[in-house]
Amino acid sequence: MELVCVSCQQRYDADSLRTRCDCGGLLDLILPESGAVDVSVYNTRLRAWRGPDSSGVWRYREFLPAFDEQQIVSRPEGNTNLYHAPEIARDVGVAELWLKHEGENPTGSFKDRGMTVATSHAVKVGATMVACASTGNTSASVASYAAFAGLPAVVFVPDGKISAAKLGQTVAYGARIIQIRGDFDAAMRLVQDASRELGIYLLNSINPYRIEGQKTILIELLHQLDWTIPDWIVLPGGNLGNTAAIGKALAELRDRNAINKSPRVAVIQAEGASPFYEAFRSSFRSFEPMDADTVASAIRIGNPVSYEKARRTIERTDGVVEAVTDTEIMDAKALIDRSGIGCEPASAATLAGLRKLVRTGVISPAARVAGILTGHVMKDAEAVMTYHLGNGTSPGRFANQPVVIDPEMSQLREVLQR
């Protein structure tokens, strides 16, 4: 097992704590050569109530770095539902739609899948402290997994720019919280310097072990579809770790004969935080970081760390990148929420982007699509209430406004008859 630079192919020891090559490039973890994987073993492992087989990450360990069982820090994670959503499919105009709800992970977002692997690695190499920069979900996940591992955690978040639920979770799990006067991108720069200079183990998705765990979003999804391949995988893009992970998973699944064709990948950004979309529009000839702003605070990121790896995913899967407005995101969220599934704003970029890609003819009405919902509906109550109540602005198109009455039957009758 080795780390290999995606830009210059320089190799490093798999346990070296560097997160970048000397040339500045990102590092990939290359697993040892091994043959075809018989995916039927995963059905057998589904019976487990405890141990690695009960985790929707470690169950798929043929695609993960190896650890001794006592090094593994697991809650366990994964095992998230794949919802068949025929009504939403009809509404956006595709033949089939499944929504994989990564908000059903232990801390409410997909981050837990990467965190179990990277925290296990931190334990393996004897880390004494772990850190991350975050728009809120990574910090909640880091705080929880560090607590499980008995490691102190320090998280860097943009002051006033993350939801109360995410900050509250991180406080509750006991991490040290540093609020940065600046945006996520500034916090990300600082945590990389801090990790290098202070020897703190970095748990952001620039850490290749994070990407390894997040590959299992796709692997578990295909397992749930009995290894039939959808035409498209649609997901939101912020720091682009997930986009990198999906591409790496697809390449490895094909290399090991678990699948014989690839879905196309569509990454959706918010218009106000869309440097990857702009790069895609230039056929990746140029990449310009931007000052990011969007209601979807999880993806309010202007200088995505995993850009090079994410670009590779789009190029290798004949993928696309789309951008959607905040209104499109919040209307899509209202639809997912009303269906009973629910998700946080960033996750709804998936559906807003799918709708736009169908409208513009990129995704055909005959397509079978799997969308990834990245975070739980309870992650951002402020965004929900602003959309439905207005709170000084006009309420959203699908607003569901609570009514206040006196405890009188007459008033109740009147309201229910409206």
> Residues interacting with ligand F0G, by CB under 6 A?
109, 111, 134-138, 205, 236-243, 298-299, 344, 346-347, 374-375
238 vs 353 by CB, closer to ligand F0G: 238
Farthest CA pair distance, the chain: 76
Shortest separation between residue 222's beta carbon and ligand F0G, angstroms: 19
Shortest separation between residue 124's beta carbon and ligand F0G, angstroms: 24
37 vs 323 by CB, closer to ligand F0G: 323
Shortest separation between residue 141's beta carbon and ligand F0G, angstroms: 8
Shortest CA distance to 111 belongs to which of 234, 209, 26, 222?
A: 209
37 vs 324 by CB, closer to ligand F0G: 324
Judge whether 156 and 132 are in contact, CB under 8 Å.
yes
Q: What phi and psi, each to the nearest 5 degrees, are found at residue 268?
A: -115, 130
Shortest separation between residue 28's beta carbon and ligand F0G, angstroms: 16
Give the 3-state secondary structure of the chain. CEEEECCCCCEEECCCCCCECCCCCEEEEECCCCCCCCCCHHHHHCCCCCCHHHCCCHHHHHHCCCCCHHHCCCCCCCCCCEEECHHHHHHHCCCEEEEEEHHHCCCCECHHHHHHHHHHHHHHCCCCCEEEECCCHHHHHHHHHHHHHCCCEEEEEECCCCCHHHHHHHHHHCCEEEEECCCHHHHHHHHHHHHHHHCCEECCCCCHHHHHHHHHHHHHHHHHCCCCCCCEEEEECCCCHHHHHHHHHHHHHHHCCCCCCCCEEEEEEEHHHCHHHHHHHCCCCCCCCCCCCCCCHHHCCCCCCCHHHHHHHHHHCCCEEEEECHHHHHHHHHHHHHCCCCCCHHHHHHHHHHHHHHHCCCCCCCCEEEEEECECHHHCHHHHHHHHHCCCCCCCCCCCCCCCCCCCHHHHHHHHHC
299 vs 370 by CB, closer to ligand F0G: 299
106 vs 241 by CB, closer to ligand F0G: 241
112 vs 331 by CB, closer to ligand F0G: 112
Shortest separation between residue 188's beta carbon and ligand F0G, angstroms: 9
240 vs 249 by CB, closer to ligand F0G: 240
62 vs 112 by CB, closer to ligand F0G: 112
5 vs 299 by CB, closer to ligand F0G: 299
Shortest separation between residue 2's beta carbon and ligand F0G, angstroms: 24
123 vs 140 by CB, closer to ligand F0G: 140
Shortest separation between residue 236's beta carbon and ligand F0G, angstroms: 4
Give the span between the Cα atoms of 89 and 336, in whole angstroms. 11
Give all strands of the β-sheet with 201-202 in edge-to-edge order.
176-180, 153-158, 130-133, 201-202
Shortest separation between residue 108's beta carbon and ligand F0G, angstroms: 9
Shortest separation between residue 267's beta carbon and ligand F0G, angstroms: 8
Shortest separation between residue 276's beta carbon and ligand F0G, angstroms: 9
